Structures are given as structure tokens and as C-alpha cells.
Amino acid sequence: MTNNGRAASKTSAVSNNGASANGARKSAARAAANDRPRPHYARFAHIVGWGMAVPERVLSNHEIARLVDTNDEWIVARTGIKERRIAEGKETTTTLSIESAQNALEMADISPEEVDLIIVATATPEYSFPSTASLVQDAIGAERAAAFDLSAACTGFIAALGTAAESVRCGSANIALVIGAETLTKVTDWEDRGTCILFGDGAGAVVVQGSDVPGGIMSYLLRSDGSGGNLLTLPSVGATRPGGVAGLLDHTIDMNGREVFRFATRAMASITREAVAMAGLSMENIDLIIPHQANRRIIEAAARGLEMPDEKFYMNVDRYGNTSAASIPIALCEAVEEGRVRPNDRLVFVGFGGGLTWGAIAVHWDVTPPEVSRWHRLGRQVRYGLSRARSVGRRVLRRVEGAVFGMQAPEVEPPHRGKK
């Protein structure tokens, strides 16, 4: 790797031609990526369960055409989106996360107590803290699980799944719950026709389990280019903006659509190729690509870039729009449901988005979900009820303890600061 890097930088130093220097840099980067050692782990990380949850309310293009100057034909032609779901009332990123997590655990026939790690990828949490993951952990009664949220915009699910797989493979967790969840319609500018047509709400989850059997998640790559951060933004609590915290209510998604489009088509094709090579496979070995569902035209352009037929790319963007971190797990659930994913298939999950960030994961899909008995289902429902009761009980106990013992600071010896 170092040798290749040195040779390439020498070439660019002697050349006065900017274009060839750029070419040399690119080929050096490619060589470095190809020379990257393939990781060897003692364990393998398999996806053993999956589940999704979307809000009831469907918002059609026709309804959006009543809000801004647009129409169904334009939106379908430029994006492939026909409708999306929007969270209403008590539906939040947390409630959608919980429902998708419970569905994934159900599919895997795994109890919440067995879960070691929960990661929620989201750009639209209810709170900066507590994390959505901690709220999920409490709601499902995953008593021994570590929990945190992860922010990588629409690449979030890839980052979360890759992180979970690494934790499982190195042995720090055996079972991980990975959730991508968003309520983007809450931060959508409903007067901006360039963005309000694109986004939707939902959640998807997978259960990752460690095993000695080879297979499962075979490669994981993640990239970032912060110089393009301004192309797709959603300001948050720390943003300096007139109005301070009150101004937060105005924080909405801003996007340079054309630039994001150009970036996305290039990034998707290149990272897919790299992840496939890293898994020791070639593109011909790939049965299905499950891409981030941002726009039908982006996916079709990436398919052309990879010289693969559109049929090898799963798409459901027409029904959900862009659900950011939730889009890949939702698409996975529907692809399995429709029989597009079969045992022994080689899959690629590929995402891109704000940051700019992009990433891909190659998977050997070798799981047949277990038959789950009615009693197991019932048992889990009872456990979820008990978790809720336990959570309320703990809160009450904390209040009682506070009232009885007050807020007395523990007596601590001051650190020794030397003789006066």
C-alpha cells in the first residue's frame, strides 16, 4: 500500500500537467483501496431478523401539489416517488423505532434480554439526549444492552450496521439490534418544492447475531467528504442562528438537488464496486443491490455506471419517498417479503447522503427465519408489558428515593495538593 502511494506521488511530482497528476492521485487511491488487507475475524456477523414500521398516513403527490407549485407527473418523472408516509399525533422516531425493533426480534425469535447492543441511526431524534436507542432499550426491556444513536444522515444505516457487525465479530457483542428511523417530514420546509416532494417517515430494523459459521456481513466501507457538507443540511440545536433555541423550530432541510444528484450517482457506483471486491466477489456474483431509496433516476444512473440491469436494484421509493436512514432496512424487509431475496444470495446495501457520506456493505444472505410459536409471540408481548411497568416502577422509586434521601452530596476527600 505504501509503495503504491509513494510511486504515485512521484509520478504526480514530476508531471506539470494537472490532469495527469489528478489521474495519478486517483489511481494511487484505487491501488491503496485494492491493497487494503481483507479483515480476518474469529466470528461472523449474520442478519437473523428484520422488521419495519411506517406511519398510517399516506401523503400523495396530488396533496403536495395543493401546497406548492408542482404536480404528480413532474414528481414521478424526476424522482419516481408517488407517495410517502408521514408521522402524525403520537408517532415519533422513537415509537417507529420500537415497533420495527419488536418486529425484527419477533422474526429472529430472540428475546430483548439477549440483546447486547442497540444502535439507532437517525437525523431526526426526539432528543439529543436521551438517545433514541436508550428509549428503545427501556421500552423493549433490553436490560443488558448498550445503546447509542448514530448520525450519518442517509448513510446512517450502513454506518450503524457496519459498527454493529464489527462489535459482533470482535466479540464485544453477540446480538445487536440495528435500527434506521426517521420523521423527516417534521423538518421539511413545506413551502420549498425542491425538497418537500422528496422525504417521508418510517423505520426499519435488523438483528445481527454472532456465529462461527462463515457468511453474513462480508465487507463494510464508509466514506466522507465534509467539503460538500453545505450541499445538504439540517441545522440542529448547536447551530448559531438568530433566534437561538426558539429559532430551532424553523430548522428545516436545505439542499442543492443537482449537486447531490451528481455526487450520489458517482458515489454509489464506486463504493459498491469496492465493497464487492473487498468481500472477494465480482459484480457478476451479486444477486441484488438494495440501495438507499432517494430517487429512481439516481438508482438507474448508478445501475448504468455499474453496467448492471435495473432489475438487480430493489426499489420501493415510489411508495415511501426518501426515508433517509430508514430506507435501506425498509427496502430489505419488502424485498424479502416479495421473494426478491433468497437463501444463499449475495447482496449489497449501499447508501449516500448528507456529510457528504457514503458507504456499502456486502452480505451473504444465508438465513432462514425460525418458525415462531404462538406461545413465544405471546410471551414476548407479555415481556414488553412488564418492561413498561418496570420502567414506570423505576421512575417512581427514583422519585421516592429523592424525596426521602434528598440531594446530599457524597463526602469526598479533596485531592492532595501538596503542603501549604
Dihedral sign for Cα 98, 104, 107, 109, please. negative
**CB nearer ligand COA, residue 77 or residue 237:** 77
x-or-dash pattern for ligand COA, window 283-302, by CB under 6 A? -----------xx--x----
Tell me the CA distances in angstroms from 301 to 282, 304, 310, one per residue in order.
20, 5, 9
197 scored as a contact of ligand COA (CB under 6 A): yes
* Least distance between ligand COA and beta carbon 78 (Å): 4
x-or-dash pattern for ligand COA, window 24-63, by CB under 6 A? ----------------------------------------
Among all chains, which residue has been given the C-alpha cell 418486529?
103
* Least distance between ligand COA and beta carbon 320 (Å): 13
Among 61, 292, 316, 364, which one carries the catalytic annotation? 292
70 scored as a contact of ligand COA (CB under 6 A): yes
22 in active site: no
257 scored as a contact of ligand COA (CB under 6 A): yes
What are the start-end ranges of the E strands in 292-389? 345-353, 357-365
Q: Which of 144, 258, 304, 395 binds ligand COA (CB under 6 A)?
A: 258
* Alpha carbons 244 and 226: distance in angstroms, whole number: 25
Give the DSSP letter string of 67-119.
Answer: TSS--HHHHHHHH---EEE---TT--HHHHHHHHHHHHHHHHT--GGG--EEE
Which residue from 150, 153, 280, 163 is spatially nearest to 220, judged by alpha carbons? 163
**CB nearer ligand COA, residue 108 or residue 268:** 268
Give residue 414's identity as a one-letter amino acid code: P
Q: Which of 174, 211, 261, 300 binds ligand COA (CB under 6 A)?
A: 261
Query: Is there a contact between 231 and 263 (Cβ–Cβ < 8 Å)?
Result: yes
Judged by CB under 6 A, how many residues of this single chain contact ligand COA? 21
Q: Which of 154, 279, 333, 361 binds ligand COA (CB under 6 A)?
A: 154
Q: Which of 92, 322, 323, 387 binds ligand COA (CB under 6 A)?
A: 322
Among 61, 103, 316, 322, which one carries the catalytic annotation? 322
62 in active site: no
Span from 17-25, 53-61, 173-181, 250-258 in contact with ligand COA (CB under 6 A): 250-258
Q: Which of 168, 203, 260, 330 binds ligand COA (CB under 6 A)?
A: 260
Give residue 293's identity as a one-letter amino acid code: Q
353 scored as a contact of ligand COA (CB under 6 A): yes
Among 61, 103, 154, 295, which one carries the catalytic annotation? 154
3-state helix, strand, coil in the chain (%, to 5): 45, 20, 35
CA angle 133, 350, 238 (to 5 degrees): 45
* Alpha carbons 293 and 243: distance in angstroms, whole number: 34
Query: Is there a contact between 218 and 279 (Cβ–Cβ < 8 Å)?
Result: yes
251 in active site: no
**CB nearer ligand COA, residue 86 or residue 279:** 86
**CB nearer ligand COA, residue 139 or residue 255:** 255
Span from 208-216, 257-265, 380-388, 409-417 in contact with ligand COA (CB under 6 A): 257-265
| Ranges within 76-135 binding ligand COA (CB under 6 A) | 78-79
Which residue from 313, 310, 185 is spatially nearest to 252, judged by alpha carbons? 185
* Alpha carbons 213 and 159: distance in angstroms, whole number: 23
Q: Which of 74, 148, 254, 283 binds ligand COA (CB under 6 A)?
A: 74
Q: 3-class DSSP state for residue 338?
A: coil
Element (H, E) at 147: strand 146-150
- The catalytic residues are 154, 292, 322
Contacting residues toward ligand COA, per CB under 6 A: 70, 74-75, 78-79, 154, 193-194, 197-198, 255, 257-258, 260-261, 264, 294-295, 298, 322, 353
